[in-house]
Structure 1
Amino acid sequence: MSERDELETGSQPNESRGGSQTTHRRDLLKAVGVGAIGLSGLANATGRVSADQIAIEDWNDLRSLRLGQDNTLVADLDIDTPGYEEYIEEPAGGWEPLVNSMVTLNGNGHTISDLVINRPNEDDVGLFGRLEIGGIENLSVRDADITDGGSVGTLIGYGAQCSVVNSDTTGSVSGGGIVGGFIGRAENGAEVRDSHTEQQINPGGGSVGGFIGICARGSVLNSHATEPVDSSGSGKTGGLVGDAFEASIRDSYATGAVSGGDSVGGIVGSIGNGGTVERSYATGAVSGGDSVGGLVGFLGLGGVTNSYAANSVDGEDGVGGLVGSVTDFNDFYDFTHSYGGCQG
């Protein structure tokens, strides 16, 4: 078996919604940091809800998540679920994004569908506009239609010190600023793992990523994005993450075509301040202006290990099969067991 075959076989994330539920919950609770929440408070693998949990049965319940409590979906939510007309159809801007701290939401294997948000003059837009010191797990958000003027993601607009585990999104998302199919901006210890998106990404005015727009001091583990990303001239555009600052991306991949202005990469547009990509790959065609790479557009003080790009790359200046360009004072070149097959 070749090095590339070993990498692809070993790094491809688990796309099932299963996995080690107990491990996921321990990580979730660790990220939340709420001592009052125990493992027994989360829904077990059979989907039953214990007496100390808050059951989320409809849009009315979702609108009123309890702080410091185990909020657990016990049914799918869609256009026919009570509360949809009041909270999504009637308001001019659709769903008003949740703003929460110290909140956990266990999707319990259920789906939230038909989410509509149209708030082009607002920042931090998504199912959760802001989520700090909280967590989401085992949740699908399907067929969402979201428009925003600032930081926008289907699941979370802005997330800090939060954990998202075993979740996925589909639909379309667009905005005038930072745009991510899954999360707009994730920072300060935010961790996303075992998750994926099949999200149509429309032009943004800032950093744009198929999965996360900006990941700063956070991590993306065992996750992927599959749809094309077109930022129509914006800088820092990536198939998975637009801008990765002091961030870690591991065991992840992106397969959609990526196009933008400067700093455009198949998996990350720009890496800075010690950010790393490990055991990851990109296969979608990449095109842009300056600093265009099959895997990473611009590398500033960072590293790429055991990763590859197998795609065509087209740009004007600073074009590479693996990395488009690096900063002049970069003394941390780590391209161990990594390669790019630039075509075009």
Structure 2
Amino acid sequence: MSKILNYSIFILLVIQLSLLAQFAGGSGTETDPWLIRTPENLDSIRYYLGNESNNKCFKQIADIDLGIAPWNEGAGWEPIGRDSILYVVFRGSYDGNCHKIINIFINRPDEDYIGLFGLLYEPAITGLSLINVNITGGNKVGAIAGYTDFAGFTKCFITGNITGKNEI
């Protein structure tokens, strides 16, 4: 019995440590945002959606290139939060901190809610530059987000190509 208990405690510690390693630092608060330095850090935001991302803060601390594998293979980047039925959307804040995300490739012509983020609800996106985007989606397609509701954007800049069927 004690071996099982020790093993269970070990597993829980490993899980908690892996969650801490998702970001380059921070605790997700306004005064200590989670820090985004790599594509892996950026991708980890998808684990903080819906109520999990309420009032959570993220801050980019380096330029990020998504033009490398696995982010540019197959259908490319998987938009963060795009399930409108379960309302799995990004509801936090993202400060690009005047850094760039370059070479975003998304090729999902038959899918909706396509962009870096799929759906945004009440977020604040500031100081973010998306350079050389190549995004193809179905309906509700954008560079930063496919769809937004009550979102605020400040000092954001985008270059590249965006293609979709409706609501681009």
Give the TM-score normalised by structure 2.
Answer: 0.70
Counterpart in the other structure of 1:164: 153
Counterpart in the other structure of 1:89: 72
Counterpart in the other structure of 1:217: none
Supply the distance in 2 between the matched residues of 1:140 and 1:125 (Cα, whole angstroms).
Answer: 17
Matched, 1:78 2:65: yes
For residues 98-117 of structure 1, the aligned pairs below 5 Å read: 98-99=80-81, 100-117=89-106
Offset of 1:60 from its aligned partner?
0.7
**Letter matched to residue 69 of structure 2:** E
More strand by share: 1
8 A Cα contact 2:66 2:105, kept in partner? no
Supply the distance in 1 between the matched residues of 2:154 and 2:80 (Cα, whole angstroms).
Answer: 19
Supply the distance in 2 between the matched residues of 1:101 and 1:94 (Cα, whole angstroms).
Answer: 19
Supply the distance in 2 between the matched residues of 1:101 and 1:140 (Cα, whole angstroms).
Answer: 18
**Letter matched to residue 113 of structure 1:** I
Matched, 1:142 2:131: yes
Q: Which has the higher contact order (CA 8 A, sep 6+)?
A: 2
- Of 15, 22, 36, which residue of structure 2 is paired with 1:56? 36
Unaligned runs of 5+ in 2: 1-27, 82-88
More helix by share: 2
Deviations 1:164-185 (A, max 9, x none): 1110100001111121xxxxxx
Matched, 1:123 2:112: yes
RMSD of aligned Cα (Å): 1.7
> Could you say what secondary structure the match of 2:98 adopts?
coil
CA change 1:60–1:121 in 2 (3 A) is same
> Could you say what secondary structure the match of 1:106 adopts?
strand
Deviations 1:98-148 (A, max 9, x none): 113321110001000000000000011111111112121000000000111
For residues 212-231 of structure 1, the aligned pairs below 5 Å read: none
Supply the distance in 1 between the matched residues of 2:150 and 2:29 (Cα, whole angstroms).
Answer: 17
Give the TM-score normalised by structure 1.
Answer: 0.35
Unaligned runs of 5+ in 1: 1-35, 42-51, 180-344
Offset of 1:37 from its aligned partner?
5.3
> Could you say what secondary structure the match of 1:98 adopts?
coil
- The percentage of counterpart residues that share the same residue type is 31
Q: Considering only CA atoms, is the larger Rg found in Structure 1 or Structure 2?
A: 1
